[in-house]
Chain A
Amino acid sequence: MSASEIGFLALALLAVIGAAGVVLIDNPVRSALCLVLNFFVLGFIYFTLGAPMIGITQIMVYAGAIMVLFLFVIMMLKRQGAMAKPDKPDSRLGLAVVLGLALAVTVYATVIAPQGVTLPLGIKDYGTPQAVGVSLFTNFVWPFEVVSVLLLVGIVGSIMLAKRRI
């Protein structure tokens, strides 16, 4: 096993632990902090794949800004601390587990098993800010322009919903 494989496995394990913590922990704030761990490690994985641009964006925007939104939403909700657990386990939980496993098995059997797993290797300089900058303003300039409308929708829509007194 090469060094980069060990590195990937370690990061992947951390990311999975973070993701599992989000779902399993009862306290919503702790759950959100597990999400921070997940986002952060995901940023590192992007680095190892040779995409520092998206890695830094991940850490700045997701681990930084988006997490603030998550925490604000938790703070705006009435129930705080440990959420009350339902008296009996949800009967749909079993179904969800079965369906989730079925999906995992399907993906494995149809996609992963026939093609085999290879450690993804980033092409050199594929995801540097320079490379992203150049392709963003040549091949992908139209999506870039259109996204500005998307952001404007976000600004105006959130103000319309949150600002007005009912």
Chain B
Amino acid sequence: MNYTIPTVDWSLVLPFALVALTGIVALIIETAHPKRDNGLIIGVSLTGLAATFVLLLTQLVLPPARTFGNMVLRDQFSVLLQLICVAATAVCFMFSDGYLREKKIAFGEFYPLTLWALSGAMVMVSTDNLLMLFVGLEILSIALYCLAGMSRSEARSEESALKYFLLGAFASAFLLYGIAFLFGASGSMSLPDIQKAVTGLTRDTLPMPVFGVMLVLVGLGFKASLVPFHQWTPDVYQGAPTNVTAFMAAVSKVAAFGALARVLVAAAPLHQYWFEALYWIAIATMCIGNLVALVQKDVKRALGYSSIAHAGYLLVALLAYTRDPDKVSLGTTVFYLIGYAAMTVGAFAVVSLAAKGDRDGSRYQDLHGLYRRAPFATVMLVLFLSSLIGIPPTVGFFGKQLIFLDALRTGLVPLAIVLAVNSAVSAYYYLQIMVAAFVSEEGAARPVSRKPGAGMTIGVCVCAAGVIFASLLGGYVQETTRTAALQAKPVPGRVQNQMEVINR
């Protein structure tokens, strides 16, 4: 039987291994001392995350490489996305302890499960093989299904876990079906191979990969909460414990967009089939996300719709890139993801302060009096929300500006206009949240007691630093991803050839 033992460059998989191993160590600590508080577990987890972060920073300058039979790919794009995921998880851990204690669900298992979910996200972004993409997605999703239902005394948390699980399994089925079609059409699950295989297809053989790409986009669109597939987002964001929501909003979205970027690049030869569809999906995502958020009465739900809207903005950046990869860079997407992760995690961290007892206080009136209790955190909330609106000099503003310019440069003027209008509309509900935090406690539905702990303060500071200083990284991110981003750049010229093939 013919076989070759794959050559292995361990440095490529070391970040993943480190995170997964940290999770295992955390689980061992929990197994050894089930009756101790979670201090040691958090300490080990944060140390592991810090080590991974440093390791990834050292890998940022290395040239793109593959290993394990091309199952693992490390390029600047993947390293940057992994950095975002690791940092976002670390911040979630910092504010988790106080929140979980307040809700009396301080399970030691939360930390290993979250670390493994992170490792799944890291697998997803650091590969261009559809098989690995699927395995990573499943690790991330299954861990998140469990984490969303962690607060078992709340019916809403149970509901969110069930909804997320059922719809997520449905979306995974779409993704798998699409992968099967692409495999059938090209005989490979590696995206560069698929890209090569679909370029030379004729009218008769073309439907199969087109169908496959569409199904894959449905599956990933669910994860990224693009509009026809977004219905789970508000319910799950509202029902899940707030620290899980923060993790979900940041890491899950980064992973989904990382995978989406690679799939779209590989599907560039079929540009004409999916571009129009995604164009309208982007418009619908931005508009519906923001318009429905206007009438929400619940902070977490409103932020859920806001994350849908931001998925729309990110899709505009991706579309601009796939339309003309020479004029604009993928760095815009990466840069926006950095900002998005910082401001979303920060906002959810502060909102988690409204929890009281075993209930999640997340209605607008539950935020009343927050300014008295936690003046610093509330001021930071204002910062995060202004960044979400896109007020200069926050990262939200620069991110949106980049996307806007990209869209204009590649001739996607309607998308740019929709984006600008939506940013203005979104200010209304973000301001509502801000105002709620400053209203005094008198009219509040119930008194809130918890003061923010040190972890919360540090976590919020990290996010704030991200929101303020990430803008300095803009140029750097643009340059790094431009020089060595994706291995396979889309070739618009091929689309033209494809048209000729079709017309004949």
Contacts and interface: CB of A to CB of B under 8 A. Distances in A.
Interface of A: 107, 110-111, 114-115, 130-131, 134-135, 138-143, 146-147, 149-150, 152-154, 156-161, 164, 166
Contacts, number: 103
B203 A161 contact: no
23 contacts: A110-B207, A111-B208, A115-B207, A130-B1, A131-B1, A140-B131, A141-B6, A142-B69, A143-B131, A143-B132, A146-B123, A146-B132, A146-B135, A149-B23, A152-B116, A153-B120, A153-B139, A154-B142, A156-B109, A157-B146, A161-B146, A161-B150, A161-B161
A116 to B, nearest CB: 9
Contacts of B107: 160, 164
Given A115-B204, A130-B1, A160 B68 contact: no
A153 B107 CA distance: 15
- Those 10 A-B pairs whose CB atoms lie nearest each other, nearest first: A157-B146, A142-B68, A110-B207, A142-B71, A160-B109, A138-B3, A139-B69, A114-B204, A111-B207, A153-B143
B486 interface: no
B116 A149 contact: yes
Main secondary structure of the interface of B (DSSP, over half): helix
B145 interface: yes
A134 B27 CA distance: 32
B5 A160 contact: no
A54 to B, nearest CB: 13
B112 interface: yes
B173 to A, nearest CB: 13
Main secondary structure of the interface of A (DSSP, over half): helix
A154 to B, nearest CB: 6
A149 to B, nearest CB: 5
B113 interface: yes
B41 to A, nearest CB: 13
Given A139-B69, A150-B120, 16 more contacts: A107-B211, A111-B208, A114-B207, A115-B204, A135-B3, A138-B3, A138-B69, A142-B13, A142-B68, A149-B23, A149-B116, A150-B135, A150-B138, A153-B139, A156-B112, A161-B161
Interface string B151-165: 011000000010000
B146 A111 contact: no
A36 B98 CA distance: 47
A142 to B, nearest CB: 4
Interface in B270-326: none
A131 B2 CA distance: 10
A115 to B, nearest CB: 6
B29 to A, nearest CB: 13
